[in-house]
Amino acid sequence: MECPMNHERAPQYYGDYLGIERLLELQKPLSLREGKLIAHDEMLFIIIHQAYELWFKQILHEIAACAEVLSKPEADDDGPDMNVVVHRFKRVVEIWKLLNQQVDVLETMTPLDFLEFRELLHGASGFQSKQFREIEASLGLRMESRFRPDYYKHTELGGFNAKDFAEITEFEQKPSILQLTERWLARMPFFEEGFWHGWEEAPNEYKTGERPAFWLRYRQLYEQSLSDRDDKPDLLGKFDDIFFHSGWGSFSPASLRAALFIMLYRDEPLFRLPFGLLNSLIEIDEQLSNFRYRHLQMVRRMIGTRVGTGGSSGEQYLQGAVNRNYIFKELAGVITFLIERRNLPTLPSRLHRALRFNYSDR
Ligand code: HEM
- 362 residues of the chain, pLDDT tens digit each: 556 566 688 999 999 999 999 999 999 999 999 899 999 999 999 999 999 999 999 999 999 999 999 998 876 777 788 999 999 999 999 999 999 999 999 999 999 999 999 999 988 999 999 999 999 999 999 888 889 888 878 898 889 999 999 999 999 999 999 999 999 999 988 888 788 887 877 655 555 556 778 999 999 999 999 999 999 999 999 999 999 999 999 999 999 999 999 999 999 999 999 999 999 999 999 999 999 999 999 999 999 999 888 888 899 999 999 999 999 999 999 999 999 999 999 999 889 998 987 645 44
Q: What is the distance in A from the centroid of ligand 1 to the CA of 111?
A: 15
- Geometric angle at alpha carbon 30, from 124 and 304, rounded to 5°: 50
Q: How far is the CA of 279 from the centre of ligand 1 (A)?
A: 28
Q: Can you tell me which atom of ligand 1 is nearest the CA of 114?
A: 1
Ligand 1 site-directed mutation target among 127, 285, 300, 307, most atoms within 8 Å of CB: 127
22: left (phi over 0), alpha (psi -120 to 50) or beta: alpha
Ligand 1 atom at minimal distance to the Cα of residue 152: 40
| pLDDT at residue 196, as a whole number | 84
Which atom of ligand 1 is nearest to 310's Cα?
16
Pair 256, 247: CB distance under 8 Å: yes
Q: Ligand 1 centroid vs 67 CA: distance in angstroms?
A: 27
Q: Which of 211, 261, 269, 207 is nearest to 240 (CA)?
A: 211
Give the number of the atom of ligand 1 that is nearest the alpha carbon of residue 56. Answer: 30
Phi, psi of 36 (to 5 degrees): -115, 130
- Asked whether the whole model's pTM tops 0.75, one would answer yes
By CB atoms closer than 10 A (0-12, 13-18, 19+), residue 24 is exposed
Question: What local confidence, expressed as pLDDT, does residue 206 receive?
Answer: 55
Looking at the DSSP bridge assignments, the partners of residue 32 are: 37
Residue 32 DSSP SS3: strand
